[in-house]
Amino acid sequence: MYFQDIILTLQRFWAERGCLIVQPYNSEVGAGTYNPATFLRALGPEPWNAAYVEPSRRPTDGRYGDNPNRLQQFDQFQVILKPSPINIQDLYLESLAAIGTKPLDHDVRFIEDDWESPTLGAWGLGWQVWLDGLEISQFTYFQQAGGFDCKPVSGELTYGLGRIAMYLQDVDTMYDLEYNAHVSFGELYKRAEWEWSTYNFEEADAAAHFAAFDKNEAEAKRLLDRDTDPLKKLVLPSYDFIVKAAHAFNVLDARGAISVTERQRYILRVRTLARSVAEAYLAQREALGFPLLARASKAAE
């Protein structure tokens, strides 16, 4: 199965089960969780089911294209189901079958793996899913986001597309994956990995990124502070600047520009922003009367 067919199959699979197929976020994120379709929608009482591919960037993971399965940019397939359905594990296993992996032929297991994002003030409990000893997915029940208790709890599934594809195509490096019949993963990403690794580790302008962090942080705050009326706060633009600040921090981290002690302070600054935006988002949805909740109860009638 070609790399893109895995994506298409998973999208169809989850669309058929009521998920909204949304698009990747158009700013650099470290994981699919940063997409507002997960981070913000996981907050509050409204139901939400969505799936999407998220090209995630982790500058420190760059290896100049030399490592077979570690890249600074990689695709995750993210599913968020709120409230987490009772048969969520079964749904996940069916999705594996849909991409050609019958659990009965393998050893599939759910191994404890708790998840925490210090920058997002978010944590959850769950598993990594092992397929014959290979970790192919992360499975998390969100307990908190932005420091707020999640109620109801969302179930988050994150498929490591590269690993699954390597397994399905029986290749030893991600760059040997066939994206479709004509273009390899290596053609698409190998040069990019070298360029981005060189940039992140060697070339990134630290002063510019420090300045960007400060500016984005200030802008994010300003957009929330501009009015006390929850409907006049600019929640989404503010969140955008928080994501940009977090990315600036990640680049600085890879560049080795942040000392151990400073690192904690920067994380705390992002977390503080994440908490404010979560609070503003919750207030905004409440002021709007939690529209998706009303719609869901109407649908139930």
Of 95 and 143, nearer to another protein (C-beta) is 143
Member of 260, 299, 300, 301 binding another protein (CB under 8 A) = 260
User: Residues 6 or more apart from 82 whose CB is under 8 A from it?
Assistant: 41, 42, 46, 47, 48, 49, 152, 153, 154, 155
Please report how close the Cβ of residue 236 comes to another protein at its closest, in angstroms. 26
Contact call for residues 228 and 182 (beta carbons, < 8 A): no
Task: Indicate whether 265 belongs to the interface with another protein (CB under 8 A).
Answer: no
50 versus 212: smaller Cβ distance to another protein: 50
d(CA 228, CA 206): 35
d(CA 270, CA 220): 10
Closest separation between CB of residue 197 and another protein, Å? 16
* Residue 90 buriedness (CB in 10 A; 0-12 / 13-18 / 19+): exposed
Report d(CA 124, CA 154) in Å as an integer. 9
Residue closer to another protein by CB (options 90, 227) is 90
Q: Does 89 bind another protein (CB under 8 A)?
A: yes
Question: Per-residue contact track with another protein, 143 to 172, x per CB under 8 A?
Answer: x-------xxx-x-----------x----x
CA dihedral 213, 215, 219, 221 (to 10 degrees): 60
**Out of 84, 128, 138, 250, the residue judged to bind another protein by CB under 8 A:** 84
State which of positions 94-133 bind another protein (CB under 8 A): 103-112, 114, 124-125, 127, 131-133
Interface residues for another protein in 194-233 (CB under 8 A)?
none
82: exposed, middle or buried (Cβ count in 10 Å: 0-12, 13-18, 19+): buried
Residues that bind another protein (CB under 8 A): 68-69, 83-86, 89, 103-112, 114, 124-125, 127, 131-134, 141, 143, 151-153, 155, 167, 172, 260-261
